Amino acid sequence: MNGTKPLLSRVAESLYWMARYIERAENVARFVGVNLHLMLDLPSYEEKQWQPIVDTTGDARMFQEQYGDAAQETVVKFLAADAAYPNSVFSCIRAARENARSVREIISSEMWEQVNALYLLVRESQGLAPDALPSYFHEVRMACDQFQGVTDSTMTHNEAWQFIGLGRTLERADKTTRLLDVKYFILLPSLSDVGTPYDEIQWAAVLKSVSGFEMYRKKHGRISPRKLVEFMLFDNEFPRAVRYSISRADRSLHAITGTPAGTFSCASEQRLGMLRSELDFGRVDATLSAGLHEFLDGLQVKMNRIDECILRDFFAQWSAASGAVI
Amino acid sequence: MRFSSYDTAEFYDEMFERGGRPRPHAQFLIDTIESLSDGQLLRYQHGADRLLLQMGITFNVYGDTDGTERIFPFDLIPRIVPASEWEAIERGLCQRIHALNEFIHDIYHEQKILKDGVIPRDVIQSAASFRPQCQGLEPPRGVWCHITGTDLVRDRDGQYYVLEDNLRVPSGVSYVLENREVLKRIFPKVFEGLAVRPVNEYPSRLLEMLESIAPRYADTPRVVLLTPGIYNSAYFEHSFLAQQMGVQLVEGRDLTVTGDGVFMRTVKGLERVDVIYRRIDDDFLDTEAFRKDSLLGVPGLMAAYKAGRVSLANAPGNGVADDKVVYAYVPDMIRYYEGAEPILPNVPTYLCWRDADRQHVLANLASLVVKSANESGGYGMLVGPHSTQAQREEFAEKIEASPRNFIAQPTLGLSRVPTIIEDHFEGRHVDLRPYVLYGKEIYVLPGGLTRVALRRGSLVVNSSQGGGSKDTWVLA
Domains and CATH numbers, chain B: 350-410 (3.30.1490.270)
The pLDDT of residue A40 is: 83
| Residue A310: pLDDT over 80 | yes
- Cβ-based contacts of A105 with chain B (< 8 Å): 239-240, 242-243, 248-249
Q: Which of B238, B267, B274, B287 to mutate to test the interface with A (most CBs of A within 10 A)?
A: B267
Q: At what angle do helices B40-54 and A109-124 cross, to 10 degrees?
A: 100
| DSSP code of residue A46 | S
Q: Quick one: A101 and A161 in the same domain?
A: no
pLDDT band at B465 (very low <50, low <70, confident <90, very high): confident
* A2 is a domain residue: no
Looking at CA atoms only, how far is residue B287 from chain A in angstroms? 15
Q: Quick one: A178 and A94 in the same domain?
A: no
Nearest Cα neighbor of A26 from A108, A205, A148 is A148
The pLDDT of residue A280 is: 96
Question: Which residues does residue B372 pair with via DSSP β-bridges, in sequence order?
Answer: B406
* Cα A154 to Cα B99: distance, rounded to the nearest angstrom: 46
Region B41-65 average pLDDT = 81
* A59 is a domain residue: yes
* Exposed e or buried b per residue across A272-308, where buried means at least 16 C-beta atoms within 10 angstroms of its C-beta: bbebbeebeeeebeebeeeebeebbeebbebbeebbe
* Sign of the dihedral through C-alpha B189, B192, B196, B201: positive
Q: Quick one: A242 and A301 in the same domain?
A: yes
- Whether B302 and B289 have beta carbons less than 8 Å apart is answered as yes
* Cα A31 to Cα A209: distance, rounded to the nearest angstrom: 5
- Cβ-based contacts of A112 with chain B (< 8 Å): 55-56
| Residue B439: pLDDT over 90 | yes
* Cα B263 to Cα A189: distance, rounded to the nearest angstrom: 60
Q: Quick one: A197 and A221 in the same domain?
A: yes
Q: Measure CB to CB from residue B230 to each of A5, A98, A120 and give the nearest one.
A: A98
* A3 is a domain residue: no
pLDDT band at A44 (very low <50, low <70, confident <90, very high): low
Contact B55 A113 (CB under 8 A): yes
Instruction: Quick: pLDDT tens for A189-220.
Output: 655 444 566 778 888 889 999 999 999 999 99
Least confident of A299-303, B57-61, B324-328, B443-447: B57-61
- Cβ-based contacts of B51 with chain A (< 8 Å): none
Nearest Cα neighbor of B344 from B86, B17, B33 is B86
CB contact, 8 Å: B248 with chain A?
yes
* A322 is a domain residue: no
Q: Measure CB to CB from residue B253 to each of A105, A117, A320 and give the nearest one.
A: A320
Region B338-361 average pLDDT = 95
- Cβ-based contacts of A120 with chain B (< 8 Å): 53-54
CB contact, 8 Å: B253 with chain A?
yes
- Cβ-based contacts of B248 with chain A (< 8 Å): 5, 8, 105
Instruction: Quick: pLDDT tens for B391-409.
Output: 999 999 999 998 888 999 9
Name the residue in chain A with its Cα closest to that of B241: A105
Higher pLDDT, A104 or A48: A104
Q: Quick one: A296 and A184 in the same domain?
A: yes
CB contact, 8 Å: B406 with chain A?
no
SS (H, E, C) chain B: CCCCCCCCCCCCECCECCCCCECHHHHHHHHHHHCCCCCHHHHHHHHHHHHHHHCCCEEECCCCCCCCEEECCEEEEEEEECHHHHHHHHHHHHHHHHHHHHHHHHHCCCCHHHHCCCCCHHHHHCCCCCCHHHCCCCCHHHCCCCEEECEEEECCCCCEEEEECCCCCCCCHHHHHHHHHHHHHHCHHHHCCCCECCCCCHHHHHHHHHHHCCCCCCCCCCEEEEECCCCCCCHHHHHHHHHHHCCEEEEHHHEEEECCEEEEEECCEEEEECEEEECCCHHHCCCCCCCCCCCCCCCCHHHHHHCCCCEEECCCCHHHHCCHHHHCCHHHHHHHHHCCCCCCCECCCEECCCHHHHHHHHHCCCCEEEEECCCCCCCCEEEHHHCCHHHHHHHHHHHHHCHHHEEEEECCCCCEEEEEECCEEEEEEEEEECEEEECCCEEECCCCEEEEECCCCCCCCCHHHCEEEEEEEEEC
Which of A99, A131, A155 is the last residue before a domain boundary?
A: A155
Q: Quick one: A94 and A169 in the same domain?
A: no
- Cβ-based contacts of B56 with chain A (< 8 Å): 101, 112-113, 116
Contact A5 B248 (CB under 8 A): yes
Looking at CA atoms only, how far is residue B104 from chain A in angstroms? 33
* A292 is a domain residue: yes
The number of residues making up chain B comes to 476
CB contact, 8 Å: B94 with chain A?
no
Q: Quick one: A146 and A165 in the same domain?
A: no
- Whether A12 and A310 have beta carbons less than 8 Å apart is answered as no
Least confident of A1-15, A104-118, B94-108: A1-15
Nearest Cα neighbor of A182 from A46, A49, A301, A29 is A49
Q: What angle do CA B377, B178, B212 make, to 5 degrees?
A: 80
Contact B267 A256 (CB under 8 A): yes
* Cα B424 to Cα B419: distance, rounded to the nearest angstrom: 8
pLDDT band at B377 (very low <50, low <70, confident <90, very high): low
Least confident of A122-126, A263-267, B118-122: A122-126
CB contact, 8 Å: B190 with chain A?
no
Contact B55 A104 (CB under 8 A): no
The pLDDT of residue B86 is: 98
- Whether B248 and B224 have beta carbons less than 8 Å apart is answered as yes
Interchain CB contacts (distance < 8 Å): A and B: 68
Contact B240 A105 (CB under 8 A): yes
Contact A105 B54 (CB under 8 A): no
Contact B229 A102 (CB under 8 A): yes
| Residue B451: pLDDT over 90 | yes
Name the residue in chain B with its Cα closest to that of A312: B267
| Residue B244: pLDDT over 60 | yes
Nearest Cα neighbor of A251 from A237, A261, A239 is A261
The number of residues making up chain A comes to 326
* CA within 13 Å, CB half, B71: 16
Q: How many CB atoms lie within 10 A of CB B41?
A: 20
Which of A155, A181, A214 is the last residue before a domain boundary?
A: A155
pLDDT band at B374 (very low <50, low <70, confident <90, very high): confident
* Cα B5 to Cα B23: distance, rounded to the nearest angstrom: 16
B79 phi, psi to nearest 5 deg: -105, 130
Q: Quick one: A118 and A226 in the same domain?
A: no
CB contact, 8 Å: B376 with chain A?
no
- Cβ-based contacts of A5 with chain B (< 8 Å): 248
pTM score of the predicted model: 0.86
* Cα B370 to Cα B379: distance, rounded to the nearest angstrom: 11
* A227 is a domain residue: yes
* Cα A200 to Cα A147: distance, rounded to the nearest angstrom: 33
* End-to-end Cα distance, chain B: 28
Contact A105 B243 (CB under 8 A): yes
At A239, the amino acid letter reads P
Instruction: Quick: pLDDT tens for B297-339.
Output: 899 999 999 999 999 999 999 999 999 999 999 999 999 999 9
Nearest Cα neighbor of A36 from A131, A141, A162 is A131
Q: At what angle do helices A109-124 and A9-41 cross, to 10 degrees?
A: 40
Q: Which domain holds residue A303?
A: 157-317
Q: Quick one: A174 and A137 in the same domain?
A: no
CB contact, 8 Å: B55 with chain A?
yes
* CA within 13 Å, CB half, A54: 25
pLDDT band at A223 (very low <50, low <70, confident <90, very high): confident
- Whether B139 and B123 have beta carbons less than 8 Å apart is answered as no
* A174 is a domain residue: yes
Number of domains in chain A: 2
Q: Quick one: A143 and A182 in the same domain?
A: no
| Residue A46: pLDDT over 70 | no
At A197, the amino acid letter reads P
Contact B254 A318 (CB under 8 A): yes
- Sequence-ordered list of residues with C-beta below 8 angstroms from that of B447, at least 6 positions apart, any chain: B176, B180, B197, B199, B434, B472, B473, B474
Region A147-158 average pLDDT = 96
The mean predicted confidence, pLDDT, of chain B is 91
Q: Quick one: A43 and A65 in the same domain?
A: yes
Looking at CA atoms only, how far is residue A257 from chain B in angstroms? 9
Burial of B126 (0-12, 13-18, 19+ CB in 10 A): middle
Nearest Cα neighbor of A125 from A139, A114, A112 is A139
CB contact, 8 Å: B54 with chain A?
yes
Name the residue in chain A with its Cα closest to that of B272: A6
* Cα B14 to Cα B21: distance, rounded to the nearest angstrom: 11
* A323 is a domain residue: no
The pLDDT of residue A115 is: 96
Contact A7 B267 (CB under 8 A): yes
Higher pLDDT, B91 or A73: B91
Q: What angle do CA B407, B410, B413 make, to 5 degrees?
A: 135
Looking at CA atoms only, how far is residue B271 from chain A in angstroms? 8
CB contact, 8 Å: B185 with chain A?
no
| Residue A267: pLDDT over 90 | yes
pLDDT band at B192 (very low <50, low <70, confident <90, very high): confident
| Residue A1: pLDDT over 50 | no
* DSSP-based three-state secondary structure for A8: strand
CB contact, 8 Å: B356 with chain A?
no
Which of A155, A170, A194 is the last residue before a domain boundary?
A: A155
Q: Quick one: A165 and A135 in the same domain?
A: no
CB contact, 8 Å: B230 with chain A?
yes
